């Protein structure tokens, strides 16, 4: 599931023209490398942050899963 969410975050983020640095800061990550690892599926994604990511990206939560 984490790989799917990571890929969807990356796809939507790029469609919105948002950088990893910008999204990482909005999510409170200390480094964009954390987001890079999430997007590549190397690191799990905290399910509690799903609504926040959706809000920042301007999409419905289900857009991160499908």
CATH superfamily of 2-64: lambda repressor-like DNA-binding domains (1.10.260.40)
Asked if residue 9 lies in contact with residue 52, where contact means CB atoms within 8 angstroms, the answer is no
Domain boundaries, the chain: 2-64
| 8-61 confidence digits (pLDDT tens) | 999 999 999 999 999 999 999 999 999 999 999 999 988 999 999 999 999 999
Burial 39-65 (b: 16+ CB within 10 A, else e): beeeeebeeebeeebbebbebeeeebe
In the prediction, which pLDDT does 24 show? Answer: 98
Residue 62 has pLDDT above 80, yes or no: yes
In the prediction, which pLDDT does 1 show? Answer: 73
Q: How many CB atoms lie within 10 A of CB 6?
A: 22
In the prediction, which pLDDT does 37 show? Answer: 97
């Amino acid at each position: 599931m984490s790989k799917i969410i990571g890929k969807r975050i990356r796809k939507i983020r790029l469609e919105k023209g948002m950088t990893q640095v910008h999204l990482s800061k909005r999510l409170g990550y200390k480094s964009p490398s954390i987001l890079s690892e999430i997007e590549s599926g190397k690191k799990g994604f905290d399910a509690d942050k799903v609504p926040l990511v959706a809000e920042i990206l301007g999409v419905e939560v289900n857009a991160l899963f499908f």
